[in-house]
Amino acid sequence: MSASESQHSLPKNLFPHHTPAAASSSTEESKDANGMTKLPNGVILDKDGKPCRLCTSAASWRNLTKQAKTQTAASTATATAAATTTTAPKPTPDSTPLPQSRDDCPPDVEALGRSTWTFLHSLTASYPVKATQEQQGEMRTFLKIFSRLYPCWVCADDFRTWMAEPNGRNEPRLAGRADFGTWMCEAHNEVNRKLGKKEFDCRLWEERWRTGWKDGRCD
């Protein structure tokens, strides 16, 4: 919901709740004030208290799995040292290159967000020029359901909060394609602002998502 991109190339995530993952160069476990092992920066917990893969960036998830493997290796080494007098070789620095992203792995929060924005903007592009009351009601219902079932639960909460702005300025504008497309672009720009990225000119949303650019690059 990952290179830095604006709406010309879909952004990293939908509504982010994570901080950039910090690279770890130590094999020692980091403990908090309660003696609990700290999770790497950017790892978001699900409602059941377990790490949420769909809410976390790929970099943060790799750091989490690396941390788990390091702890397991340390425990194994301790047990082995206690059972033998053989001097264990000194560990060598981990020079394994970071794995390349794959298309056949579960998505992280960024891949999920990119796919979702493609779907949502395409939805506005196919919306009627002038929507009937029934069509408006169906889309309003969809947005309510979407904002509750989106797999990244913190992102879903954030989207609902944004739509429920007390002054009503962020309520879905569903009278027709132009209003709906501009509203979706504004929702997307809210994410861009949170990420510190350049906002998209919403006057151009139809060229980007429906008709293609006037210079013919999409033909």
Alpha-carbon Rg for the chain in angstroms: 23
Any domain includes 55 = no
In a domain, 21, yes or no: no
Residue 63 lies in a domain: no
116 inside domain: yes
What is the pLDDT of the chain when averaged over all its residues? 79
Classify 143 in phi/psi space as left (phi over 0), alpha (psi -120 to 50) or beta.
alpha
User: What dihedral angle (degrees, nearest 10) is formed by the CA atoms of 162, 164, 170, 175?
Assistant: 130
Q: How many CB atoms lie within 10 A of CB 50?
A: 8
In this prediction, residue 17 has a pLDDT band, given cuts at 50, 70 and 90, of very low
Q: Phi, psi at residue 31, to the nearest 5°? A: -110, 150
In total, how many domains does the chain have?
1
3-state class of 54 per DSSP?
Answer: helix
45 has which bridge partners?
A: 51
Average pLDDT over residues 117-130: 97
- Does a structural domain hold residue 139? yes
* Pairwise CA distance, residues 18 & 89, whole Å: 38
**Domain assignment of residue 185, yes or no:** yes
Q: Has this prediction a pTM greater than 0.75?
A: no
Q: What local confidence, expressed as pLDDT, does residue 143 receive?
A: 97
Contact 14, 194 (CB under 8 A): no
In a domain, 59, yes or no: no
Alpha helices in the chain (DSSP H): 58-83, 109-125, 133-149, 153-163, 177-194, 205-206
Answer for the pair 154, 198: CB distance below 8 angstroms, yes or no: no
Q: Are 80 and 88 in contact (CB under 8 A)?
A: yes
pLDDT at 170 over 60: yes
Is residue 80 domain-resident? no
Highest mean pLDDT among 25-29, 69-73, 91-95, 198-202: 198-202
28-87 pLDDT, tens digit each: 445 655 656 788 787 878 777 888 876 777 778 788 878 877 766 666 656 555 555 555
Which residue range forms the structural domain that includes residue 175? 109-210
Q: DSSP label at 53?
A: G
Whether residue 197 contacts residue 4, with contact meaning beta carbons closer than 8 Å, is answered with: yes
Q: What's the CATH code of the domain at 165? A: 1.20.120.310
d(CA 117, CA 205): 13
Q: What is the pLDDT of residue 199?
A: 96
Residues of the chain above pLDDT 70, percent: 68
The closest alpha carbon to 200, from 185, 217, 180, belongs to 185
Q: Cβ atoms within 10 A of the Cβ of 132, count?
A: 9
